[in-house]
Structure 1
Amino acid sequence: MNKSPSILGGSCIIASVCVGAGMLGLPSAGAGAWTLWSVFAITLTMLVMTISGWMLLEAFQRYDLKVSFNTVTKDILGDRVNLFNNLMVYFVGGILLYAYITSSGLILKDMLGISSQLASILFVLVFSAFVWHSTRAVDRISVLLIMFMVLSFVFGVSGLALKVDLTVLFDSVGAETQYAPYAMAMLPVALTSFGYHHSVSSMRAYYGDERKAKNAILGGTLIALGLYFLWLFSIFGNLPRSEFGPVIEQGGNVDVLLSALGSVIESDNVSRAINTFSMAAILSSFIGVGLGVFDFLADFFNFEDTRMGRVKTWGVTFLPPLVMSLLFPFGFVVAIGYAGAAATVWTCIVPALLVKKCREAEACGVAVGEMPVTGVAVPSGFRAPGGQGMIALVMGFGIITALFHFLSMFGWLPAFRG
């Protein structure tokens, strides 16, 4: 008899999907909003994104465990919405994998003494193998990586945390008194920092039970939120707000951020631990995001769950972002900012629409969509919290976040330059 997967393992997968983008993107994106408003922004985002993930579980429960966005959205919302949603899912997953591959190359080139391009290639070949193998393999490596991050976090970030200067943490000596306006431009990066939703179907298939998947999602987002708090407090308490200028000017690239952080760290051991932690954060997110994109594309292309079928899925998942990384490397924060705008479609808007349509069909006692796979709507075994108001809140949060990204892109929102 197979042992049921642990909630901790699933939580670590969800947390690992989140933390790469958040750990390396949030400090630069939140430099304008600084400590209190950054904490508010990521807490609000975590709550909304957890509920929207539960909404996906509610909509998915009528379907076979192997289905993903493609099947469910097409059935319930139609071909046009599904096509747009698919493009956004792949765009976000691809651009995040692209950002992680590029950042890994920048960090590993010094560790291995090779070019960043070769380092990126080796990174993909070695660590994408876990995704190709199975979700169970991703579970195992995710738990190890989270433990590894905690250890490097303790040795590295605790060194920073012990030296937190409250006047720096709360910018008491800064001339700036307005922080809230900068939080608007931070929201797209905050949303990406909890963008695990392409892994919801993987969690559901892994556990075979929506309630266990719900607990794993909540556990994962709480782990990520706790790590974000400690990370931001440690960085904002040591690196003055005025010194973020060079980091922001160079697109928030991970090597620039770590270099700036290194200038305020006296201990070489702490500096090495911070670099190790950053690498582990990128690796964990690369594997977690890779799993979500892998399962999504397997469903989209109807590739079989065989050795050769998984090779095909591996190719369409990892080769395009690797090629783009080698040809067009650019800023980490820029990449996840665009990802955040696009992710609002399938992390907020589509989950809300799916649940709205399913509940309307339930109330009328008719089939959801007209596809045989759905059968006749039945009373929900699992239901996300909240009624119409919660659906409107989740959808509105997504629309506002996307709007903030485009307003920021055109220079119509306050922009912090350091």
Structure 2
Amino acid sequence: MKKNPSLVGGSCIIASVCVGAGMLGLPSAGAGAWTTWSIIAIAITMIVMTISGWMLLEAFKHYDLKVSFNTVTKDMLGDKVNVFNNITVYFVGGILLYAYITSSGLILQDVIGVSSNIASVLFVLVFSAFVWHSTRAVDRISVVLIAFMILSFVFGVSGLAINVDMGVLFDTISEEASYAPYAMAMLPVALTSFGYHHSVSSMRAYYGDEHKAKYAILGGTAIALGLYFLWLFSIFGNLPRSNFGPVIEQGGNVDALLTALGSVIESEKVANAINTFSMAAILSSFIGVGLGVFDFLADLFKFEDTRQGRAKTWLVTFVPPLILSLMFPFGFVIAIGYAGAAATVWACIIPALLARKSRTLETGYEGFMAPGGSNMVILVIAFGVLTATFHVMSMFNMLPAFIG
């Protein structure tokens, strides 16, 4: 008898897809908005992104379990929309893989004593094998990594949490009066931090049931939200807002954040635990994003689910970002700047349009449906358009920017 996959495993896959990008990007993106407005922005984003994932599930219910974004979007919204959507899905997925491969290479070169290029190649060969093998293998390693992250998080963040200064956490020590305007520039980063949508079809195929996939998605986004809250409380409660200047200057990268934290926390154990946590976050996201892109490309190129077919899918999923990482190690810093706007297309706008189209079909109101009716469809599209607009405005320096 076939064993049913657990909801914990699926939730961990979704959480691990979200957490890597979010943990590394949210503290510097939220430094202007600071604690209260950052929490509000992340909570609203989590609700919208969970519902938009459910909207994808609603559209997928009309198709067999092996389909993904490509087939459904092409069928429901036409070739032109599908081509645009495919470009944005692959762009964001590819850029994230590129970023994770480069970051892990830089962290591992010190650990295993080889050049960052060799470390990147070894990282891809070892950890992409889980994706090539099966979704169940990704489930297993995701549960281990989330547990590992929670343990290192507990040791690292509890060390920070014990020292949280309420004056620092709520910025009563500075004369700043306005935080809300900075939340606009934070929204695109918050949206990318819940960008698990290329894994929705993987979840549906894994469970063979939209309702179970729905709870795995909700569990995953809830775990991510809880970890983000704890992380921001711990960072913002220790590192004064005025100390974020050097971190923002270096593009918010995790090394700069750890260096800044090192100046306000004494314990080396805490610093090491947070470093370990960062590596686990990158690794879990690499595997989670890799699985989503893998299933998406298998559907796009119609590769079979055989060892040979999966090998072809592995090549088109992992080799291009690895080559980019070896040739242009820091190109992703520029490219990731565009990822937020591209992610709004496939994480908000397309899912809402697919749900609307699904409801015009003869069997549209049968089986699984996302909540909120047509008003929710409009709200999700509006959130996506607004976030993309803020992202473009931010790129052209048209929004208030916090520089520390």
Task: Give the TM-score range, shorter chain.
Answer: over 0.9
Give the alignment of 1:260-409 within 5 angstroms.
Answer: 260-330=260-330, 335-361=335-361, 365=362, 377=363, 379-409=365-395
CA distance in 2, matches of 1:14, 1:348: 17
Q: Secondary structure at the match of 1:380?
A: coil
Aligned to 1:412: 398
Shift of 1:208: 0.2
CA distance in 2, matches of 1:112, 1:42: 36
CA distance in 2, matches of 1:84, 1:338: 15
Percentage identity across paired residues of the two chains: 79
Aligned to 1:78: 78
Aligned to 1:191: 191
Q: Secondary structure at the match of 1:360?
A: coil
Matched-pair contact (CA < 8 Å) for 1:28–1:244: yes
CA distance in 2, matches of 1:417, 1:223: 30
Shift of 1:336: 4.0
Matched-pair contact (CA < 8 Å) for 1:23–1:231: yes
Q: Which amino acid aligns with 2:257?
A: L
Shift of 1:332: 7.0
Q: Which amino acid aligns with 1:305?
A: D
Aligned to 1:369: none
The C-alpha deviation readout for 1:329-373, integer Å capped at 9, x for no partner, is: 338775544212101101100011011111123xxx3xxxxxxxx
The C-alpha deviation readout for 1:224-252, integer Å capped at 9, x for no partner, is: 00000000000111111111111111111
CA distance in 1, matches of 2:320, 2:177: 44
Residue 127 of structure 2 corresponds to residue 127 of structure 1: yes
Give the alignment of 1:125-274 within 5 angstroms.
Answer: 125-274=125-274
Aligned to 1:372: none
The C-alpha deviation readout for 1:248-306, integer Å capped at 9, x for no partner, is: 11111222222222222211111111000010011001100000000000000001111
Matched-pair contact (CA < 8 Å) for 1:252–1:332: no
Shift of 1:101: 1.2
Deviates more, 1:198-207 or 1:241-250: 241-250
Q: Which amino acid aligns with 1:398?
A: G
Shift of 1:91: 0.3
CA distance in 1, matches of 2:31, 2:283: 24
Matched-pair contact (CA < 8 Å) for 1:17–1:288: yes
Q: Assess, with a 3 A threshold, how the Cα gap between structure 1 residues 338 and 20 changes in structure 2: closer, same or farther.
A: same
Q: Which amino acid aligns with 2:383?
A: F
CA distance in 2, matches of 1:303, 1:71: 13
Shift of 1:161: 0.4
Aligned to 2:97: 97
Matched-pair contact (CA < 8 Å) for 1:262–1:271: yes
Q: Which amino acid aligns with 2:174?
A: G
Aligned to 2:62: 62
Q: Which amino acid aligns with 2:250?
A: Q
Q: Which amino acid aligns with 1:413?
A: L
Matched-pair contact (CA < 8 Å) for 1:251–1:330: no
CA distance in 2, matches of 1:324, 1:279: 21
CA distance in 2, matches of 1:321, 1:309: 20
Matched-pair contact (CA < 8 Å) for 1:344–1:399: yes
Matched-pair contact (CA < 8 Å) for 2:359–2:365: no
Q: Secondary structure at the match of 1:3?
A: coil
Shift of 1:137: 0.2
Q: Which amino acid aligns with 2:397?
A: G
What are structure 1's unaligned runs of at least 5 residues?
A: 366-376
Matched-pair contact (CA < 8 Å) for 2:98–2:332: no
CA distance in 2, matches of 1:165, 1:332: 35
Aligned to 1:370: none
Aligned to 2:6: 6
Matched-pair contact (CA < 8 Å) for 1:103–1:253: no
Deviates more, 1:307-316 or 1:7-16: 307-316
Matched-pair contact (CA < 8 Å) for 1:93–1:293: yes
Matched-pair contact (CA < 8 Å) for 2:95–2:332: no
CA RMSD of aligned residues (A): 1.2
The C-alpha deviation readout for 1:86-145, integer Å capped at 9, x for no partner, is: 000000100111111122122222222332222222211111110010000000000000
What are structure 2's unaligned runs of at least 5 residues?
A: none
Aligned to 1:49: 49
CA distance in 1, matches of 2:279, 2:209: 33
Q: Which amino acid aligns with 1:103?
A: S
Shift of 1:397: 0.4
Matched-pair contact (CA < 8 Å) for 1:96–1:336: yes
The C-alpha deviation readout for 1:202-234, integer Å capped at 9, x for no partner, is: 000000000000000000000000000000000
CA distance in 2, matches of 1:9, 1:410: 41
CA distance in 1, matches of 2:59, 2:278: 35
CA distance in 2, matches of 1:354, 1:329: 37
Count, aligned residues: 404
The C-alpha deviation readout for 1:185-218, integer Å capped at 9, x for no partner, is: 1111100100000000000000000000000000
CA distance in 2, matches of 1:223, 1:331: 31
Q: Which amino acid aligns with 2:163?
A: K
Matched-pair contact (CA < 8 Å) for 1:31–1:244: yes
